[in-house]
């Protein structure tokens, strides 16, 4: 542990106010405008929703343990996967890294005292919780069965379940995303510390900036789409109802215009986390800093041009399919740039295998598998064969669970000393990271094979020849569940019993490590002045070749 | 540039400066920029409906024209004039605030609120009229003519788009009323009037949405007569 000290050591006898001990009591949390406390409010809420979504995932896997639909009715199973999807996508994955780590870190990384609009930031959490309440109400009162995609005309004409409250929950939560994105964009533009130019920003900030662009440009479209579904369903008018002259495919266009970019809302922040972890634990300047930064923006922009690949078999013209297919292949370029640059950063580095680095390694491997199988699905011919099968399920879980959740857990571990001022138990954390990796692959790799063999998604029973692989998958899910429970336990434990971490346990660069842990309410005693390049990990005097 | 803000003296902080900013300039920059980003969001929010309009008008051109002739062109034109007038008074309000003229600010805010109210009044009369003629889409919709289904689609879009616009007007009037109370209490000065300015941006945006809605909804069937 040769942590380089960037601060003159703080006198240990002098108790300093930090954001955690500056005030106590429920009011001081529920009315806080401190971005760090709001981040912790989000941390508690997304963790809650993660375990709700996880519970339904477990129920799905239990039903699929046997070929017969013997645990629940088909209708109940429909509700299981719908709730799992809605909760995980809208209430965990989308807010997870931006609202927790982004909220906590962006002001510190840009050397500011807070985000530009602290009250709006708190409001965004209340909006999120209100949306969550609507959704929970829908779950408790019998659930929704449309799938998380709310496809019309089923969602507007046929479904007897609680579509409106669930849709309203998503509509409302969307505004919390918009406010978060708006706050980040304005803060990154207007609140940077003196000397902190765009190309001195941490790559995490670049990734969150690109994410915020999607928040403000994409989320309003899903909001209006959901509003149209709600109007159609309540007033019996026909935006999307073929009987009234509407077009159900228009719904799919509008839905995927947001929901495909939303995939990048989920993965870009995780890429930002990896871009921080890899240089720190390789002790190297990231290879091709500018390329990684531009790649984030390129993914955000290209992400808006590929939505039609969700409709290859929805009666879209072959010509449109061709164009969307080519554009989808293009997204692979900036994604591959990132993967190559992370690996090149590690090349020749002095690598330490701490838990965050293990998660980063998991991310790089699993994201690569998820990304490459995405190319299968972007190819028109192959997609016809595997669409609506478990191949698709496996593909996007490799991106969203293998990618986004791994990145989230890696980030939580990496910045935990900053958030709590305590060290997590390293051996246990490495063990959990490995458990998660094994459990994940055991759960989802068999699903690639199942899908390729033709097992369709969204059914509660299946032919007997698929059982072995399904048993593997369910066994993997239980291991994965243990892997997710472990950090919950030991991170909570470390809050009280963990060793003090000091300001910078990893010897990392970046402004967030130059203040104390946990940080004071105003983040920095004096506004920092930045006069060096980011990630300057090389020893002083050494000649550095910037990749 | 962020560097420009570093110079602010830490001891002579203006009362209106929030703690996270270094200077009032930076604070106002951030607020205006935030409103612009919000307006971009709003454009995409309305954008979904404009897309639906474009596709269905292309599909049902004749029916949309038939629906459009059911509009009261006098009311629509009057409302357009009222809204453009309200944008003028809003601009005058921002100007008065920048000059630090409290009474003029109060007057122009009141005028803008009144014109906004007048717009909503006319819209309410139009809505009542449509409903009386069974033009509210849904099971009660009646329209004599060949394209009843397309006319219903037109009215679905008409009510959703103008309804959403009216909702934005109501929110705008709420914001302006708050500004009025704040101005009444003397909260704004020539140095600090940013809330008036960014509320003005919002008001103009809502006005511009109507400038698009008016020809798309009221004028498309006229030349066919």
Contact A148, A80 (CB under 8 A): no
Paired tokens of B196: 């008036």
Residues of B in contact with A250 (CB under 8 A): 51-52, 55
CB spacing of B45 vs A223 below 8 angstroms: yes
For range A77-88, the mean pLDDT: 96
Neighbours of A531 (CB within 10 A): 9
Q: Angle CA(A35)–CA(A40)–CA(A44) in degrees, nearest 5?
A: 145
Chosen for mutation from B4, B10, B33, B52 (greatest number of chain A CBs closer than 10 Å) is: B52
d(CA A146, CA A81): 9
Chain B nearest CA to A168, separation (Å): 15
Chain A nearest CA to B54, separation (Å): 11
Tell me the per-residue pLDDT of A379-412, one tens digit each, with 9 for 90 and over: 999 999 999 999 999 999 999 999 999 999 999 9
B201 touches chain A (CB under 8 A): no
Q: What share of chain B is helix, strand, coil (3-state, %, to 5)?
A: 75, 0, 25
Q: Which domains occur in chain B, in start order? A: 21-224 (1.20.120.80)
CB spacing of B2 vs A115 below 8 angstroms: no
Paired tokens of A208: 């969150």
The alpha carbon torsion through A98, A103, A107, A113 (nearest 10 deg) reads 170
A320 — phi, psi (to 5°)?
Answer: -60, -40
Q: B137 Cβ partners below 8 Å, 6+ apart? A: A235, A237, A238, B152, B153, B155, B156, B159
**Per-run averaged pLDDT (10 residues), chain B, 225 residues:** 41 74 92 97 96 95 92 96 98 96 97 98 97 91 88 95 98 98 94 95 98 96 65
d(CA B151, CA B221): 12
**A500 DSSP β-pair partners:** A422
Nearest Cβ partner of A224 from B6, B38, B45? B45
Residues of B in contact with A192 (CB under 8 A): 2
d(CA A105, CA A96): 13
Nearest Cβ partner of B37 from A182, A194, A225? A182
d(CA A231, CA A367): 39
Neighbours of A414 (CB within 10 A): 26
CB spacing of B20 vs A112 below 8 angstroms: yes
CB spacing of A195 vs B3 below 8 angstroms: yes
Please tell me whether the peptide bond between A476 and the residue prior to it is cis, using omega within 30 degrees of 0. no
The span from the first CA to the last CA of chain B, in angstroms, equals 58
B52 touches chain A (CB under 8 A): yes
A107 pLDDT tier (thresholds 50, 70, 90) = very high
d(CA A224, CA A214): 16
Nearest Cβ partner of B137 from A235, A250, A529? A235
Nearest Cβ partner of B150 from A191, A219, A245? A245
Residues of B in contact with A246 (CB under 8 A): 56, 153
Chain A nearest CA to B103, separation (Å): 30
Chain B nearest CA to A220, separation (Å): 4
Residues of B in contact with A216 (CB under 8 A): 37, 40-41, 44
CB half-sphere exposure, B47, CA atoms < 13 A: 19
B146 touches chain A (CB under 8 A): no
Chain A nearest CA to B216, separation (Å): 18
d(CA A94, CA A263): 8
B38 touches chain A (CB under 8 A): yes
CB spacing of B48 vs A217 below 8 angstroms: no
Residues of A in contact with B130 (CB under 8 A): none
CB spacing of A189 vs B33 below 8 angstroms: yes
CB spacing of A254 vs B149 below 8 angstroms: no
Q: Which pLDDT score is estimated for A236?
A: 86
Contact A342, A364 (CB under 8 A): yes
Tell me the per-residue pLDDT of A499-522, one tens digit each, with 9 for 90 and over: 999 999 999 999 999 999 999 999
Residues of B in contact with A118 (CB under 8 A): 18, 20
Nearest CA in chain A to B53: A239
CB spacing of A117 vs B138 below 8 angstroms: no
B149 touches chain A (CB under 8 A): yes
CB spacing of B48 vs A178 below 8 angstroms: no
Averaged pLDDT of chain A: 93
Q: Which pLDDT score is estimated for B144?
A: 86
Question: Would you give the distance in Å from CA A23 to the centre of its chain?
Answer: 31
CB spacing of B40 vs A239 below 8 angstroms: no
Question: Would you give the distance in Å from CA A324 to the centre of its chain?
Answer: 24
Q: Which pLDDT score is estimated for A242?
A: 87
- DSSP 8-state class, residue A101: I
Chain B nearest CA to A69, separation (Å): 40
B53 touches chain A (CB under 8 A): no
CB spacing of B149 vs A244 below 8 angstroms: yes
Residues of A in contact with B160 (CB under 8 A): 228, 231
CB spacing of A231 vs B160 below 8 angstroms: yes
For range A56-62, the mean pLDDT: 96
Chain B nearest CA to A163, separation (Å): 19
Residue B201: is it exposed, middle or buried by C-beta count within 10 angstroms (0-12/13-18/19+)?
middle
The share of chain A scoring above pLDDT 90, in percent, equals 87
Chain A nearest CA to B148, separation (Å): 10
For range A170-195, the mean pLDDT: 96
Residues of A in contact with B152 (CB under 8 A): 237-238, 244-245
The yes-or-no verdict on residue A369 having pLDDT over 80 is yes
Tell me the per-residue pLDDT of A2-48, one tens digit each, with 9 for 90 and over: 444 455 555 444 557 899 998 899 999 999 999 999 999 999 999 99
d(CA A38, CA A34): 6
Chosen for mutation from A237, A520, A525, A527 (greatest number of chain B CBs closer than 10 Å) is: A237
Residues of A in contact with B61 (CB under 8 A): none
Q: Which pLDDT score is estimated for A513?
A: 95
Name the residue with higher pLDDT: A472 or B2.
A472
A235 pLDDT tier (thresholds 50, 70, 90) = confident
Q: Which pLDDT score is estimated for B7?
A: 42
d(CA B143, CA B134): 8
Tell me the per-residue pLDDT of A420-466, one tens digit each, with 9 for 90 and over: 999 999 999 999 999 999 999 999 999 999 999 999 999 999 999 99
pTM of the model: 0.93
Q: Which pLDDT score is estimated for B2?
A: 38
d(CA A432, CA A419): 20
B131 touches chain A (CB under 8 A): no
CATH topology of domain A34-514: Cytochrome C Oxidase; Chain A (1.20.210)
DSSP SS3 for B17: coil
Q: Which pLDDT score is estimated for A315?
A: 85
Q: Which pLDDT score is estimated for A482?
A: 96
For range A164-181, the mean pLDDT: 95
């Amino acid at each position: 542990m040769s942590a380089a000290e960037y601060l003159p050591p703080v006198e240990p006898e002098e108790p300093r106010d930090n954001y955690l001990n500056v005030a106590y009591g429920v009011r001081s949390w529920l009315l806080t405008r401190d971005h760090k406390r709001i981040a912790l409010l989000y941390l508690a809420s997304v963790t809650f929703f993660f375990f709700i979504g996880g519970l339904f995932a477990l129920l799905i896997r239990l039903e699929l343990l046997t070929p017969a639909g013997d645990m629940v009715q088909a209708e109940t199973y429909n509700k299981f996967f719908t709730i799992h999807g809605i909760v995980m996508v809208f209430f965990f994955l989308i807010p997870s890294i931006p609202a927790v780590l982004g909220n906590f870190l962006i002001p510190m990384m840009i050397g500011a005292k807070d985000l530009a609009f602290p009250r709006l930031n708190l409001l965004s959490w209340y909006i999120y919780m209100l949306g969550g309440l609507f959704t929970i109400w829908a779950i408790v009162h019998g659930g929704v069965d449309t799938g998380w995609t709310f496809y019309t005309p089923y969602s507007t004409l046929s479904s007897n379940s609680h579509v409106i409250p669930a849709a309203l929950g998503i509509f409302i939560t969307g505004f919390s995303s918009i406010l978060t994105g708006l706050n980040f964009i304005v803060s990154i533009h207007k609140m940077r510390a003196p000397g902190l130019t765009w190309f001195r920003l941490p790559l995490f900030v670049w990734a969150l900036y690109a994410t915020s662009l999607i928040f403000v440009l994409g989320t309003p479209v899903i909001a209006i789409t959901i509003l149209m579904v709600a109007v159609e369903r309540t007033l019996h008018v026909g935006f999307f109802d073929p009987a009234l002259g509407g077009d159900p495919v228009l719904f799919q266009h509008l839905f995927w215009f947001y929901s495909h970019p939303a995939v990048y809302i989920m993965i870009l922040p995780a890429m930002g986390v990896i871009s921080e972890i890899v240089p720190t634990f390789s002790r190297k300047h990231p290879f091709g800093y500018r390329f990684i930064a531009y790649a984030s923006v390129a993914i955000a922009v290209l992400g808006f041009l590929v939505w039609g690949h969700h409709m290859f078999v929805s009666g879209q013209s072959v010509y449109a399919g061709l164009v969307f297919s080519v554009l989808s292949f293009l997204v692979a370029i900036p994604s591959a740039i990132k993967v190559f640059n992370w690996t090149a950063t590690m090349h020749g580095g002095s690598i330490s295998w701490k838990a965050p680095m293990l998660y980063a390694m998991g991310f790089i491997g699993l994201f690569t598998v998820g990304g490459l199988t995405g190319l299968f699905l972007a190819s028109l011919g192959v997609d016809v064969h595997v669409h609506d099968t478990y191949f698709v399920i496996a593909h996007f879980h490799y991106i969203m669970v293998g990618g986004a959740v791994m990145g989230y857990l890696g980030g939580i571990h990496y910045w935990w000393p900053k958030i709590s001022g305590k060290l997590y138990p390293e051996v246990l954390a490495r063990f959990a990271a490995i458990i998660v990796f094994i459990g994940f692959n055991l759960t989802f790799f068999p699903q690639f094979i199942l899908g390729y063999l033709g097992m369709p998604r969204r059914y509660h029973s299946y032919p007997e020849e698929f059982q072995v692989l399904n048993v593997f998958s369910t066994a993997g899910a239980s291991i994965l569940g243990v892997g997710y429970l472990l950090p919950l336990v030991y991170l909570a434990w470390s809050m009280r019993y963990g060793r003090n971490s000091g300001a910078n346990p990893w010897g990392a660069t970046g402004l967030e490590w130059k203040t104390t842990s946990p940080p004071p309410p105003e983040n920095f005693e004096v506004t920092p002045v930045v006069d060096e390049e980011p990630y300057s990990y090389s020893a002083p005097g050494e000649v550095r070749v910037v990749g | 540039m962020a560097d420009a803000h570093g110079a602010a003296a830490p001891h002579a902080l203006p009362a209106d400066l929030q703690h996270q900013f270094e200077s009032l300039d930076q604070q106002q920059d951030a607020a205006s920029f935030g409103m612009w980003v919000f307006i971009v969001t709003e454009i995409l929010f309305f954008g979904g409906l404009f897309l639906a309009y474009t596709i269905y008008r292309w599909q049902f051109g004749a029916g949309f024209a038939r629906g459009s002739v059911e509009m009261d062109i006098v009311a629509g034109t009057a409302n357009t004039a009222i809204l453009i007038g309200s944008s003028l008074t809003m601009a005058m309000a921002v100007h008065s605030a920048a000059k630090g003229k409290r009474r003029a600010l109060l007057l122009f805010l009141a005028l803008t609120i009144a014109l906004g109210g007048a717009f909503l009044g006319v819209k309410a009369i139009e809505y009542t009229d449509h409903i009386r003629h069974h033009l509210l889409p849904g099971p009660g919709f009646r329209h004599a003519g060949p394209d009843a289904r397309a006319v219903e689609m037109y009215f679905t879009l008409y009510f959703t788009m103008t309804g959403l616009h009216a909702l934005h007007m109501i929110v705008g009037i709420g914001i302006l009323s708050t500004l009025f109370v704040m101005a009444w209490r003397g909260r704004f000065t020539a140095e600090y009037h940013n809330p008036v300015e960014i509320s003005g941006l919002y008001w103009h945006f809502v006005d511009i949405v109507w400038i698009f809605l008016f020809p798309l909804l009221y004028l498309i069937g006229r030349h066919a007569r």
